[in-house]
Structure 1
Amino acid sequence: MSNEDDKVDMKQEQIKSDEGSVRSSIRFEPYSIIIQFFLVISLLSALLYFIPQALDDRATNDWTKTEAIVKSSEQISGDDYNWAKIEYEYTVNDKKYSSDQVTPFLNRYEGSKSLSVTNYVWKYPKGAKITAWYNPYNPEMAVLEPGLEMMSILPVVLFSFSSFVFLLLLWDAIKRHKLHKLIVSGDKTAVKKFVEKNKKIDVQFRSIFYLLEQNDDEILQLVLHFENRYKYRTLTNYFIYHEDQKNADRFHVYFDSIPESSMVKFLACSLKKGIRGLSTIVLVFFTIMILLGIYYSISSYAQLTAASEWPETTGEILSIQRIKDYESDYKYLKIKYEFSIKEKKYISDKKHAPGSGMSFLFNWKNDGEFEKRMVVASKQTVYYNPQNPNESYLVKANPREAFVLGFMVFTIFTFGIIYFYRTWRLFNKSKPGNVDHIN
C-alpha cells in the first residue's frame, strides 16, 4: 500500500472519529452539570473526611511521653496485604494500658501494601524499652511515632487540587448551559450580552446544531467567536461524514480563519480558560513533578557530597535478615550493625548514605557482591557523621547517584514536552478532511 493510500485511510479514520466525538458530546452535554456536580460533591466529601484525620494526626505531637515495653512484634502478610503488628504496654497513673498503634496512620488501614512496615518490626523488637506518646485526655490512645505523616497529607492535597479543578469545570459547564438556554429562547440581546461578558466561554455542540436547524445565522455568528480550531475541525469532519457540503464548507472556513498559535500562546490560552481540559491538568502535574524532581536532585547531590566526606571506622554486623517482597521473589537485606566512637557504642541499620537515589533499588533487589560481604560477626567499614554519629551507613556514598533521580526528571520532562507538542499540533495543524471529495 502506497503512502498516499495510507494518508487517505488515516483521513477517513479521523473523519469517522470526529463524527463519533460530536455525537457523543451532544448526548452527554445535557447531563454534564449533573455528573460534574455529583463528582464535585464526592471529592469535597472525601476532602472533609481526610482533613479531620490529618488534624488529629498533627495533634499527636502534643500528647504526653512515657516509657513502654514491646510485648510482641511481627509482620503479618497475605496475598494482598502486608502490615506491622506491634503491641506494647505502658503505664499511666499506675494503670497499665496496651496499644498496637505505631503511627497515627499505620494500622488505620489494615492491608497496607507498603513494604516499609517491615522497618517497624525491625525497629521495635520484642522486649525492647521504647518511648510512647499517649493522649492525656484518653490514655487508651497511644502511638510510637507521633505527628503528621505524608500518607495523611497526600489525600488532602490530591482531593483539594481535584476539587478545585472540577469546581472550575463545573462553573464552566453551568455557563455553557446558561448560554444554551438563552440561545433556545431566541433572545438575541441576551445572547449578545452574555457572550460579551463571557468572551472565553465555549459554546456547546447541541447549541450549534440547534441554530443550524433554526437557520439562525445571526445568533450563530454571535456564539462562534471562540478561537477553537479543534472544534471547527471536528465539526467540519462531522459534516463531511454526513455529506453535508454546505456546513462542511462553512466550518472549514471558520477553521482556516483562525491563525495558528505558537506553543507559548497555546499553553497560556489553555491556562486562561480556567484549567479547562486534560492538557492543562497534565501540564500542572508535570510542572509540579519536574520542580520537585529538580529540588530533590539538588538536595540529594548536596547530601551525598557531604556524606562522602564523613570519616570511617570499623563496625561489627550484629544480625542479618532477608525479607521477601510479598509481590515478587526478590529478597532484600536488613542489616543491623554496631560501632564505637570515643568509647560510646552506636547501633544502626542504615545501608546507604542520606540522599542516596539508589537505596530503593538495593531494597528491591540485592547487590550480589554486597550480600556476600555481609556476614554476622564480620567486621565492616562504617561511615559516620562526626557531628551526629547516630547517622551512619555501610555503602560508600557516590554523589553521582543523584543523577538517577535527575534522569527520572529528564524522562518525565521529555514525556511532557512530547505530549504537549502533539496536543499543540492537533490544536493547530490537524486539517479537516478534503471537502472537495464529499460528492
Structure 2
Amino acid sequence: MSLAQELSKLIRQKAKLWIKTGSQQALEQNIFDFPDLTDLMTPEYTYVVFDSVFTSLITALWFDIPLTDIQVLNQCYETSVPSTDEFMKGKLIDIKPCSCLEKYPEIGEWLKDIRSAIKSHFGKTAEESRPRKGVYGLSKYGQSFYDPQVIRDFIRSTQIREVKKWVTPETAAASLKSFILSLDLNPSVVNTWFTISNTVSALIRDSALVDMAIVGVSKVSPGIDSTVVESVDLNLSESVFEIRGYNDIAFNCFVGSAVVGWSFVCSDKYSPPEEMYETPGLEGTFSKIAAIAQVIAREQVNRLYMTPLMLANYQTHDERTDFSRSQRIALYGSARAIYYNVRAIVNDLLKGYPELEVNMYNVAVQQLLGRVGGVHRWGEEVYREIDALTLRNQWVEEWAGKGLDRAVLEKIFDSIVYYVKAYNSIRVTEKLRLMARYWR
C-alpha cells in the first residue's frame, strides 16, 4: 500500500471514530441508545467484574497486600457536574477516582471481622503462615517475600487482568508462564493462584449456589448446598472439586495456605471444617468477601450508564462540531500512524509468509504497542516498568506459547523496539498536552 493510500485510510478511520464517539450527534445518539445496550451487556459484564473483584480480594488477603494497592478494588469514582469554566473547556462530567474503602466504609469493617475470625478460631498459624511482604528487622526468615516493585505489581494487578479478561485458559496460561520465565517467579505460587482463579470463574459461571448467583449467567447446579467444579492449572491439567460455595474458596486461601521451604502453597482441597459453618460468629464470615465483591461490582456496572458522557468527555463544542479541531482524534491518529509504520516493517520481514500468519504476528505487535502505551489501563503497569530486554523475553515467551515462531518474534521485536519506545513517548506527551488546558 502506497503512502497516499495509508494516509487516506488513516483519515477515514479518524473520521469514523469521530462520527461514532466524538461528534455532537454521536453524543446525543449514544445517550438514548446506550441504555438498551447496557441491558444486554449487564449480565456478562457483572460476571466479569464480580469474578475479578472476588479473585482480587482473596489475592489481597492471601498475599497480605493492602486493599488500597489492589487495582480492581480501587476502580471507584465520585462523579459530579463540572464547573462552568471546565464545561466550556469540554468537560461534560467530572470524574474523580477514590478508594473503595473511602466510598464504602462498611468494607473495612467486614475485613476486620474476617481477620478477627481467622485469629480467634484458627490461631496464629492461619494468620502468620500466609505469604506477606517482608520488613527488614521484623519478618521471619523464610516466611515472607522481598521483591522489586515490578513483582508486586504483577501480583496485585497484572496477573488478574491477564486471566480475567475474555481469553481462554490456554491463552491466560501462556501469558503467566511468560512472566514466570522473564521475571523469575516461583512457579508453584503462580500455578496455585491460577488454579484458584479458574475455580472461582467456573463456580460463578457453572453453578447457581445459595450464597451467590448471577441472573442470566450462572447455570442451575445439580445440588443446592454444593456443586462439582472443574478447573485447570498452568499445564492445563484438569481437576474436579466439590465446593459448597464461596466460603470454601475463601477459607482455603487463608487457612489452607502454608509455608513450605521457600514456597507458599495453597491446598487444592476445598474442604473447610464443618465448624466453620456452625460456630456462632464464624458461619457467615467468609461470605462477607462475596458481599464486598458485590458492592464493588455494582459500582462498576452502574457506571456503564455514564459511558456516552465519558466517550465525549474532554472535548469542546468546537471539537464536537468540527472533525479537524478534535485533539482526541489527533491523538488517535498519531498513535495509528506509528502502528502503520510498525506493521509495514513486519510485513516486509514476513514477505512470502501466508497472509493469515502475517496477521497473527501483526496482532502480537499491536498488543505490544497497546500495553506499553496504555497509560490509563490498570493491570499493565508491569509492561511499562520492566526494561526492554525483559519486555522482549516476556513478549517472545508469551506468543511462542501461543504457537508463533520464537525466532521470528525475536527478529520482529529487535526491528521495532525503537518504534515501541516512540509510541509510548508520543502517547504520554499528547495526553498531557490534551489535559494541560484544564490546568491553565
- Of the two structures, which has the highest relative contact order with CA contacts closer than 8 Å and spacing of 6 or more? 2
TM-score, length-scaled by structure 1 = 0.25
The higher radius of gyration belongs to 1
TM-score, length-scaled by structure 2 = 0.25
In terms of fraction of residues, the more strand-rich structure is 1
